[in-house]
Structures are given as C-alpha cells and as structure tokens.
Amino acid sequence: MAQGSYKQFCPVAMSAETLCTRWTIVLVRELIAGSTRFNDLRRGVPRMSPALLSQRLKDLETAGIVVRDANGLDYRLTPAGRELEPIVDAFGVWGQRWIDHELSLEHLDAQLLMWDMRRNLDPTPLPPRRSVIQFRYPELPGAQRRWWLVVTPDGAVDLCSVDPGFDVDLYVSTDLRTMTAIWMGYETLAAALDEERMIVTGDAAISAQMQRWLGLSSFAKHARMAA
C-alpha cells in the first residue's frame, strides 16, 4: 500500500503509509458507516473508479483492516479496522469545525448526498406503511435531477435514481447547495422553507415531521452556522 515509504519507525509514519494513500480513509469511512458490498461502497465513493476501489480493498485486506466473508461478496472490518472508527470520526469533526463551509460546499455531489441521507433517515416519524419521498434538484441534468427515498413498513430505506413506480407521498424541490448545507448543519430547514429556497408539497403529516425523519449528517452538530 505504501508507494513512498517515510522510512521511519515512528508509528504515526507507519500508520500514514497504510491509511493516507488517496481514497483510503474515505473508503474506511464508508466501511465504518456499514457498507459491505462492492456496489454499495461504490455508491458511497461515487468519484472513485471501480479499478481503484478494488485495489484499495485489496490493500486493506493485506494490511489486516478488512476481511472478505466466506461468500466473497461482503467486506467486513477486522478488529484492527474497527479501531479506526474514532480516528475517522475525529477527522470528520475536525473538518467540520475548522474547514470553511464555503470550501466544502464547492464540492457538491447529489449521489453522495442522497446516499448519506438514505443511511441516516429515521423511519420512526413516518406512517406505518410504504412512504415515497421524491427530491428534485431543478438545476441538475436529467439523470441527476430526481431521487426517490422509499421507506418500507419494516423501516428499510432504499434510494432510487430511476422512478420506482410508486405513488409519491411527498415532493421536495430545492437546489443541491441548499440541501447539502442543511444536511451538513450549515443552514436550517426552517430558513430554507421560509425563504422559499425549498418547496415541499404532498402529505401534510410527513411534511410536518420532515426535520425528524430527515435527520442530519452525523457531523452536523459540530458545524459553525453560515452567516
């Protein structure tokens, strides 16, 4: 994994050789968040090429951080990999607190945002039936403009980039920057609605509980609000 060794016995240097190659710590973040299948990992790191993802997974296996299940389809963190969770969390907290949010919001990605929202959605406030919520980003090209979150009665959440064919209970229309800023804790849902930068139509009960079921990024509580 270490293409350029620091040639130092220091454990910080040795750890950096393993973890600081391009995309590695981001991939570990996705594994910690619960993705185990190759295609799910790809959805969590959408700008990473499949070839590089495959190579980084092999590197992590060699380093003893990841192991594949007997079926060969699922990647699981080893005890060494699970010990990285507070380190990855500290990376995120530091970035949320000290990196200017305007720099973060220069890197918008609808697929990554919706994948993260799917993972953190809380089905508890939703009706005990299938709920379908469509998010629309009018400024994006057709293939990225509409996304559907489908919540089943058992609480499972699926993300669709193609119309799943179900009746939509709630439509949410906003620009990608606004939605990302809300998700990351830089802005509030209430402000976006009041300023009509977000338009919500459909089931009134689901709409009224939006802040509860939407949740926020796990790092949002560390954000400094935008002026």
What's 186's domain CATH number? 3.30.1050.10
Structural domain includes residue 5: no
Distance CA 173, CA 5 (A): 49
Distance CA 142, CA 172 (A): 16
Query: Using alpha carbons only, what angle is made at residue 97 by residues 95 and 100, rounded to the nearest 5 degrees?
Result: 75
Nearest alpha carbon to residue 121 among 150, 147, 145, 93: 150
pLDDT at residue number 225: 56
Structural domain includes residue 63: yes
> Of 98, 133, 165, which residue is a domain's last?
98
Express as a percent the part of the chain with pLDDT over 90: 80
pLDDT at residue number 7: 78
The reply to whether 117 and 216 lie within a common domain is: yes
Distance CA 14, CA 26 (A): 18
Distance CA 118, CA 176 (A): 16
Q: Angle at which helices 176-183 and 110-120 pack, to 10 degrees?
A: 40
Give bridge partners of residue 75 from the DSSP assignment.
68
Instruction: Give 188-204 pLDDT, tens digit per residue.
Output: 999 999 999 999 999 99
The reply to whether 130 and 178 lie within a common domain is: yes
pLDDT at residue number 215: 86
* Predicted structure pTM score: 0.87
Structural domain includes residue 121: yes
Structural domain includes residue 48: yes
The reply to whether 179 and 94 lie within a common domain is: no
pLDDT at residue number 223: 81
Residues of the chain where predicted confidence (pLDDT) is lower than 70: 1-4, 224-227
Taken in order 117, 199, 211, 86, is the CA torsion positive or negative?
A: positive
CB 127, CB 206: distance < 8 Å: yes
CB 184, CB 223: distance < 8 Å: yes
Structural domain includes residue 227: no
The reply to whether 120 and 200 lie within a common domain is: yes
Structural domain includes residue 135: yes
Q: In Å, what is the CA distance from 189 to each residue of 10, 16, 90, 208?
A: 46, 38, 26, 11
Instruction: Give 125-158 pLDDT, tens digit per residue.
Output: 999 999 999 999 999 998 899 999 999 999 999 9
The reply to whether 43 and 124 lie within a common domain is: no
Could you tell me the end-to-end alpha-carbon distance of the chain, in angstroms, rounded to an integer?
Answer: 42
Range of the domain at 180: 103-222
pLDDT at residue number 104: 84
pLDDT at residue number 166: 97
The reply to whether 171 and 197 lie within a common domain is: yes
pLDDT at residue number 227: 43
Place of tokens 């699922």: 74
pLDDT at residue number 108: 94
Q: How many domains does the chain have?
A: 2
The reply to whether 86 and 62 lie within a common domain is: yes
pLDDT at residue number 1: 45
